[in-house]
Structure 1
């Protein structure tokens, strides 16, 4: 990785060295801009910098190329390149549905040239042809693809142009960014209004779409959208989604259910759309959804049966719904479900900076604030400013310029306490959940810990739980939608490229329409073993593996094997100075071609493996440590170093040491005393580790702008400042500590 970084730096420097003519009048004169942009894009296409990128990352190369081709006016080639680009990461042309807006634009321009017609008519022709080529299931996604924020795209373009004020030249990275922002504004502003009208016309032909306001017993207002296929005149089961992300996804979720021959119902949370109630995310779902289900189940288009589906917050909502189970709710399909208080807004009791960005995203207006949420430059700056300031984590919302009562309220509950318990089933509540459930998550899912926490609790407290799990090489989006061909730069085995939508609605057919059980559900746990192109099945999470090996905190250079218990006791000392805010990243070279970042970490490497093995499950074990403070946040990562030298992240784990034994009660450490920190709630993975690989273990301290900083004073971490840091943290990592690695053997 270090060599790659050096090459990338050289590459970046070369790009910055390249200059292209771009008159300063283009910044203020739109006519000049329209003339200059195709010329600039044409120059970029032929630059060695772009061709070099093809070798470094083909997916990024094709993404850049097709955009430049459109700006340059080479619409025919752009369509071909876009098709190649989609193949690089998706199994069908709507997996990257946001790209369809660019395809519509190119097709319309070609029609305009060929037919000598207006752009309006050319676009309608292009839309009708493309729309007609898609299956009903894919047409539901078209609206999301063209629903870009025109104002935000204009803002980004304006910012890119402003950097060129009083300049007559532009460097390669700036030129590329300008072309991209120009294309987005050009396409969204010229296409969105007309295509949304065309989609509405198509929808009117197929569906009956109604939007109503429901009044709860407490007097709150909830907006609900109901979608039915016109051809389905008899009552049907209803698939309900509870959606805080009000906007384009409301009709999408409804239409998605309708095309699978259900009634789709999408209710927005309090404070959204027509609701003037306070928007307090997570707090009222259990109460409100019960009343929504009661109303839905009594409507003439409902046959009395209701199922629920949705991912992330929408997955959490389903668990909120079953805290008080309505008789009409027959099944839920929670996907990548947020484990409120468990993995969000704090993961293993460590609050994340992202929580503030998300709060503003869903509370700034009655829909969602896409412009603010996607302003990554702003949020990186906010998090960096907080980190460098040394102020308390509570100051983060003030630094952002918008104090938040919700943010402060969440910080008041660092333990998994009653505030979080009341939102979802807790302990014995799970014993009363006797409906069938299908959970989906992924090895790369940001909410894997949350999704599995519900699964584990349901089986722990209900011995007859009818609850299935499908888990594979999916990220947060992939485990709630459609099959991608790669994730995090890794190619996915073909057998893993399943449609999560098809799986979910096959499940609904099975439960609500007496259909066949989905073939993939051969046991309670259904997991894809990466690098084997196979699915495996087990009755419990523990049965995902058949044995374990322990990776002790020692390096193979000092022992015959890191997997053997050390003969004598020793420790590795680590020093972390929390006062330092400008330290440079450090790396450890793992091969001739790759390095791992080890900033604030200690590196341990195994011997070369002499046979294949399958790691399947999540690491356990414990750390024996002694520190000179009352608390710290551990950070562990397990890597495979492949025979070709590339590093592959297998699992990671973060936890606040004082909550490691019990996430509900804080137990401070005694300075100077050896303490045991269990590894619980680490990330699940199933992958074949080929002979000739090595395993690398990084253990260390969480210290970066994306998370709270635990200074170890023993005070509420949210209130600590850099003044509480005192002397540098000194950790003794004892060599009898180990990470327990789960191994699967047939």
Structure 2
């Protein structure tokens, strides 16, 4: 399997190229009325363009003002036509607004910038002043449309009653970099949103982008040259990649601790186990749980399922080479509809949301709920890393065991950053079950296996890897991925994380590794997941350099990674210690059989 994190990021905004389509759109009884070209002035006199949908035959005199749902998007309002039809048919007004500088809105589009929140505030307040609005306003949208909700809420529009942020990127956390690691997909997305109209065909040309990203890997050019290489020079790209540290630039573009402490409205956060924006969506959630008032936290619900980015809005039972249980499927549009009726009208709480955290247990084919993330798992399984030889392959691997291994004191791999063979293998469509990279590993990665489980075991939550690492270069990128290996030998990717060693002390810190010195590197930002590991299955931990086609090239040098070129390359020997003084271990959140 290729780098799980890189692939989930690669499809992060892929849903932007296709419309969401609730099941009942297109039926004869879905007729609605709409007004195109609605002009919405904001504080700097820029006029934004909207399309307003209302129930068929709606009359203000006969029907009165309506509860309104608003989506603000850079992907052009027409994309949300099916959504608007659905909610208008169910009695809501639905307003789709092009972000400034996109579609038919005036102004210049600067992605994920400060104007998004201010414009969002003004749009909400404008709606409240319209005769067809009853003053109750909720927001909806995924990906950029989820981000827009969070940055609108930080300006506290008086008439904003609820938000439903789905798969929301958190600026600097998962887009346009993930844990301080930048990635080529960013320029692909900037091409999609260039100009005022969608560049859907260019964005969706996988062959073109794979060829260009491979050309970048083989060229030896610096990452900062990627925009020119693909034919899309971009000031935004240059601005973003020049800031690889999570500093005040990034912090200014998301809600602050003080703003989260003031925030007090119902929120439904939705993300998936294979959603490239899960880190962002969960960052918003966890920051709100950290800083919000007790009353506000009681109103914040979280829904997690085995979805990729687009599946967070239109769940698919199968993708990435695996089919999930039939009970995973549910009517996502109906859930949102019921949420709005509960939070803005006189409806009941959606039955699907039994508690504040609702999640799907893959492998068990069941939904479960808990009052908080911390309450999901009631135990932990600690597995020590060990090996009887330093070099690994799939047949001669290390072990994951409750008791420390007494064999070799360390395992190691050698990484030559000039070797582009992994990038040349491209990306597998069945990335969740693909085992190519593990099979091809011979001394350039580490593989650890457990013994077969003697009973089914639910793992639900964040995995944590504590690895004692020594290397002979100042920096490198290390990818760690966890898998279930079933009794028949098939593989299921569960979660992963890429860690840039220089940022091991935190996203605001930079500290190079000292050659020959052993340091504890903590991988504590694996994707959240839930799966019942089958009786007879094993777990596999795969540790390797992050050098696939969807990765930023890191030549293991100390200079900023976006400036590194092939001439800076240094072959790295990365040694993972697992002796008595360096107990490298994997910590798994477990739900007991009676939990």
- Scaled by the length of structure 1, the TM-score of the pair is 0.70
The answer to whether the aligner puts 1:476 opposite 2:476 as a matched pair is: no
The answer to whether the aligner puts 1:508 opposite 2:352 as a matched pair is: no
Q: Which range moves more in the overlay, 248-257 or 406-415?
A: 248-257
Which of 563, 576, 585 matches 1:733? 576
CA distances 1:529-558 after superposition (whole Å, capped 9, x unpaired): 112222111122122211111233224989
Shift of 1:676: 1.5
Q: Give, in whole Å, the separation in 2 of the partners of 1:402 and 1:609.
A: 50
Aligned counterpart, 2:493: 649
Which of 565, 579, 596 matches 2:418? 579
The answer to whether the aligner puts 1:394 opposite 2:237 as a matched pair is: no
Which of 584, 597, 602 matches 2:437? 597
Aligned counterpart, 1:62: none
Aligned counterpart, 2:292: 462
Which structure's relative contact order is higher, taking Cα pairs within 8 Å and 6+ residues apart?
Answer: 2
Q: Give, in whole Å, the separation in 1 of the partners of 2:24 and 2:35.
A: 16
Shift of 1:423: 1.8
Look up the SS of the partner of 2:265 in the other structure: coil
Look up the SS of the partner of 1:438 in the other structure: strand
The answer to whether the aligner puts 1:338 opposite 2:172 as a matched pair is: no
1:682–1:237 CA distance, 2 compared to 1 (3 A): same
Q: Which range moves more in the overlay, 435-444 or 274-283?
A: 274-283
Aligned counterpart, 1:282: 112
Aligned counterpart, 1:535: 367
1:209–1:555 CA distance, 2 compared to 1 (3 A): farther
Contact 2:50 2:77 in 1 (8 A): no
The answer to whether the aligner puts 1:563 opposite 2:402 as a matched pair is: yes
Look up the SS of the partner of 2:81 in the other structure: helix
CA distances 1:419-471 after superposition (whole Å, capped 9, x unpaired): 22222202332111110100111112111111111111000111421210111
The answer to whether the aligner puts 1:358 opposite 2:189 as a matched pair is: yes
Q: Give, in whole Å, the separation in 1 of the partners of 2:86 and 2:121.
A: 23
The answer to whether the aligner puts 1:328 opposite 2:159 as a matched pair is: yes
Contact 1:211 1:223 in 2 (8 A): yes
The answer to whether the aligner puts 1:437 opposite 2:322 as a matched pair is: no
Aligned counterpart, 1:666: 510
Q: Which has the larger radius of gyration?
A: 1
Aligned counterpart, 1:742: 589
1:574–1:276 CA distance, 2 compared to 1 (3 A): same
Aligned counterpart, 2:41: 215
1:661–1:569 CA distance, 2 compared to 1 (3 A): farther
Look up the SS of the partner of 2:284 in the other structure: helix
1:292–1:625 CA distance, 2 compared to 1 (3 A): same
Q: Which range moves more in the overlay, 660-669 or 689-698?
A: 660-669
Which of 524, 546, 549 matches 1:705? 549
Shift of 1:343: 0.7
Q: Give, in whole Å, the separation in 2 of the partners of 1:559 and 1:398.
A: 43
Bigger share in strand:
2
Contact 2:469 2:520 in 1 (8 A): yes
Aligned counterpart, 2:481: 637
Q: Give, in whole Å, the separation in 2 of the partners of 1:492 and 1:546.
A: 25
Shift of 1:273: 2.1
Which of 309, 313, 333 matches 2:144? 313
Q: Give, in whole Å, the separation in 2 of the partners of 1:646 and 1:708.
A: 29
Q: Give, in whole Å, the separation in 1 of the partners of 2:129 and 2:516.
A: 64
Bigger share in helix:
1
Contact 2:167 2:270 in 1 (8 A): yes
Q: Give, in whole Å, the separation in 1 of the partners of 2:446 and 2:399.
A: 20
CA distances 1:484-526 after superposition (whole Å, capped 9, x unpaired): 2323232222222111111111111100012100112222211
Q: Which range moves more in the overlay, 271-280 or 297-306?
A: 271-280
Aligned counterpart, 1:234: 64
The answer to whether the aligner puts 1:421 opposite 2:265 as a matched pair is: no
Pairs within 5 Å for 1:47-446: 138-140=23-25, 206-232=32-58, 233-283=63-113, 284-363=115-194, 365-446=195-276
Contact 1:225 1:267 in 2 (8 A): yes
Look up the SS of the partner of 1:544 in the other structure: coil
Aligned counterpart, 1:620: 464
1:506–1:713 CA distance, 2 compared to 1 (3 A): same
Contact 1:618 1:683 in 2 (8 A): yes
Contact 1:527 1:536 in 2 (8 A): yes
Q: Give, in whole Å, the separation in 1 of the partners of 2:19 and 2:175.
A: 30
Q: Give, in whole Å, the separation in 1 of the partners of 2:399 and 2:116.
A: 55
Q: Give, in whole Å, the separation in 2 of the partners of 1:247 and 1:652.
A: 35
1:244–1:585 CA distance, 2 compared to 1 (3 A): closer
CA distances 1:598-649 after superposition (whole Å, capped 9, x unpaired): 3542111111222211111121132110111221111011111111211111
Which of 377, 382, 394 matches 1:545? 377
Contact 2:481 2:495 in 1 (8 A): yes
Q: Give, in whole Å, the separation in 1 of the partners of 2:100 and 2:125.
A: 17
Q: What runs of 5+ residues in structure 2 fail to find an aligned partner?
A: 3-14, 389-395, 427-432
RMSD between superposed Cα atoms in Å:
2.7
Shift of 1:210: 3.4
CA distances 1:95-142 after superposition (whole Å, capped 9, x unpaired): 9x9899xxxxxxxxxxxxxxxxxxxxxxxxxxxxxxxxxxx9535369
